[in-house]
Amino acid sequence: MLDIATTKQAIKSRLARRQSQRGKPADYEVLIIGAGIAGIGMACRLQQLAHKNLFGHKGAKKQRRNRSVNNKRGSQRFVILEKRADLGGTWDLFTYPGIRSDSDALTFGYNFRPWLDYRMLAAGGDIKRYIADTAREFGITEHIRYEHEVQQISWSSIDQLWTATIKNHASGEVFVKTAKFIVGATGYYDYEQGYRPHFEGEEDFRGRIVHPQHWDDLDYNDKKVVIIGSGATAMTLLPALVDESSEQCARHVTMLQRTPTYVASVPGDDHAIDWLSGKFSPLSKEQAYTLLRARNVLRQQGLYKLATHAPKLMKAVLKGGVTKELKGSGVDVEHFMPDYNPWDQRVCAVPDSDLFKSLHGERAAVATDQIYHFTETGIMLQSGEHLEANIIVTATGLKLQMLGGAAVYIDGQAIDIGTRMTYKAVMIEGVPNLAALFGYTNASWTLKIDLACQYVVRLLSYMHKNRYQVALPQAQAANATAYAQADTVMGSLSSGYVRRAQDRLPKQGDRYPWYVTNNYLSDRVMLKYRKIKDDWLRFSR
Q: Summarize pLDDT for 209-220 with one digit per residue, the tens.
A: 999 999 988 999
- How many angstroms separate the CA atoms of 402 and 422, rounded? 13
Q: Which tens digit of pLDDT belongs to each residue from 436-447?
A: 998 888 888 999
pLDDT in tens, 3-45: 555 444 444 444 444 444 556 889 999 999 999 999 999 999 9
**114: which residues sit within 8 A by CB, 6+ positions away?**
285, 286, 289, 290, 293
In 116-177, which ranges are continuous DSSP H helix?
124-137
Query: DSSP of 249-303, one letter per residue?
Result: --SEEEEEESS---EEEE-SB--HHHHHTSTT-S--HHHHHHHHHHHHHHHHHHH
| DSSP E strand boundaries for 37-172 | 76-82, 144-146, 148-156, 161-168
- Angle formed by the axes of helices 311-326 and 285-309, nearest 10°: 110
Q: Sort strands 174-184 and 28-33 into parallel, antiparallel or unpaired.
A: parallel
Q: How far is CA 217 from CA 96, 212, 213, 265, 390, in A?
A: 8, 11, 11, 28, 16
For the chain, the average pLDDT equals 87
pLDDT at 398: 82
Distance CA 89, CA 222 (A): 31
pLDDT at 321: 96
Inter-residue contact 419 to 507 (CB < 8 Å):
yes
Kind and range of the H or E element at 526?
A: helix 520-528
End-to-end C-alpha distance for the chain, whole angstroms: 43
Predicted confidence (pLDDT) at residue 492 exceeds the cutoff of 80: no
Per-residue pLDDT band at 484 (split at 50, 70, 90)? low
Instruction: Give the pLDDT confidence score for residue 322 in this predicted structure.
Output: 97
Q: How far apart are CA 435 and CA 432, in angstroms?
A: 9
For residues 185 and 194, give the distance between their C-alpha atoms in angstroms, rounded to a whole number: 19
Instruction: Report the alpha-carbon angle 392-188-31, nearest 5.
Output: 135
Whether the pLDDT of residue 162 is over 60: the answer is yes
Evaluate whether 272 touches 292 at the Cβ level (below 8 Å).
yes
**pLDDT (mean) for 185-202:** 89
Identify whether the C-beta of residue 70 lies closer than 8 Å to the C-beta of residue 213: no
Radius of gyration of the chain (CA): 25
d(CA 143, CA 222): 45
